[in-house]
Amino acid sequence: MKDLIIIGAGPCGVSAALYAQSRGCDLTIFEKEQVGGLIGKVSKVSHYTSVIVDEDGESFRKRLENQIKAYGLDLRYEEVTKLEKKDAYFLVTTNKGSYEAKKVIVAAGSTPKELDLDSKGYEIAHWARGSEERVSGKVVLVNGGSDGACKEALYLSKFAKEVHIIQNQEALMCINEFRKQIEASSNITVHTGVSLTSIDKDGDHVCKASLSNCEEIKSQEGLEVFAMIGQYPNTGFIDIDLSKNDLGFIVSDIKTPIEGLFVAGDIRVKAVKQVATAVNDGALAGIEASK
């Protein structure tokens, strides 16, 4: 039986592991996809203290991976499918086996929301990095007006002919830094108070997008559509009675009412969800779990 199992190897889970192992915990981290979580997919890691200037998510992710190796953390690429509380321990079931632990930190992160839209077989993207060639010289639609969406729209504008930000709020929800850059851009158009209602295809590419105000965006070269409208928490595998909000985010402090169970990072209801706050949650969870 392990002292501690950590579910998720994003910045939060890795932070928790580093702090807990340094205090003597015998632990295992389970990760279903790749180290880094969602931050590993962004075009630029912004505002995190001491981050390499203009570092992209993949570089940041690799440094997390190197840190795991340097500290000899036990990382296993297995998807956790069920978490249960037994009398004196937790049972963690993965796609490869079952494991017991005295304590568990859930740092499973989140998954991007999909647009409630019939995309007619077209795959709507969520990440700008890796799409540079795909959007080159084309018209791009970014559905969303948060910090993340606006940062990715700015990145896409370096390669695209035009970028249209579609935001259902009456104003962009991003920070001032990004808003100023968008306002100064010559190829970004912002559409506020509207939503994307449909897209039409011509063969294998999208040729028209319709907005809720009856406006249409067309392009003979084809449109590329990105959805950046928030995330759902990865909490479906938790077979333990925890308070959750309507979207499934856990309503709890890092130390839950369940003895030995901790929740950290983006799966919690919290005012600010940034890499800095995820690392903070992980550090606190790791320290508390090691007591």
Tens of pLDDT along 10-49? 999 999 999 999 999 999 999 999 999 999 999 999 999 9
Residue 121 covered by a domain: no
- The pLDDT > 70 percentage for the chain reads 100
Residue 18 covered by a domain: yes
Domain range spanning residue 16?
2-112+231-289
Same-domain pairing of 9 and 40: yes
- Rounded to the nearest integer, the mean pLDDT of the chain is 96
| pLDDT single digits (tens) 237-250 | 999 999 999 999 99
Contact 270, 277 (CB under 8 A): yes
pLDDT the model gives residue 143: 97
Contact 123, 116 (CB under 8 A): no
Same-domain pairing of 235 and 104: yes
Q: What is the mean pLDDT of residues 131-154?
A: 97
Same-domain pairing of 191 and 245: no
| pLDDT single digits (tens) 269-290 | 999 999 999 999 999 999 999 9
pTM, two decimal places: 0.95
Residue 153, pLDDT above cutoff 90: yes
d(CA 150, CA 183): 11
Last residue of one domain, picked from the residues 227, 244, 260: 227
Q: How many residues does the chain have?
A: 291
Q: What is the mean pLDDT of residues 200-225?
A: 94
Same-domain pairing of 99 and 142: no
Same-domain pairing of 54 and 195: no
Secondary structure string (H, E, C) spanning the chain:
CEEEEEECCCHHHHHHHHHHHHCCCCEEEECCCCCCHHHHHCCCCCCCCCCCCCCCHHHHHHHHHHHHHHCCCCEECCCEEEEEECCCCEEEEECCCEEEEEEEEECCCEEECCCCCCCCCCCCECCCCCCHHHHCCCEEEEECCCHHHHHHHHHHCCCCCEEEEEECCCCCCCCHHHHHHHHHCCCEEEEECCCEEEEEEECCEEEEEEECCCCEEEEEEEEEEEECCCEEECCCCECCCCCECCCCCECCCCECCCCCEEECHHHECCCCCCHHHHHHHHHHHHHHHCC
Last residue of one domain, picked from the residues 174, 197, 227: 227
Residue 276 covered by a domain: yes
Residue 255 covered by a domain: yes
Within 8 A by CB and 6+ apart from 175, the residues are 147
pLDDT the model gives residue 115: 94
**CB-hemisphere CA count at 13 Å for 260?**
19
Residue 24 covered by a domain: yes
Same-domain pairing of 156 and 21: no
CATH number, domain containing residue 212? 3.50.50.60
Residue 218, pLDDT above cutoff 90: yes
Same-domain pairing of 136 and 41: no
Q: What is the mean pLDDT of residues 185-199?
A: 97
Same-domain pairing of 70 and 107: yes
Same-domain pairing of 43 and 142: no
Residue 127 covered by a domain: no
pLDDT the model gives residue 204: 85
Residue 220 covered by a domain: yes
Q: Which residues pair with 163 in a beta bridge?
A: 140, 188
Same-domain pairing of 100 and 243: yes
Number of domains in the chain: 2
d(CA 287, CA 291): 7
Q: What is the mean pLDDT of residues 242-267?
A: 97
Last residue of one domain, picked from the residues 204, 227, 250: 227
| pLDDT single digits (tens) 87-132 | 999 999 999 999 999 999 999 999 999 999 998 889 999 999 999 9
Residue 154 covered by a domain: yes
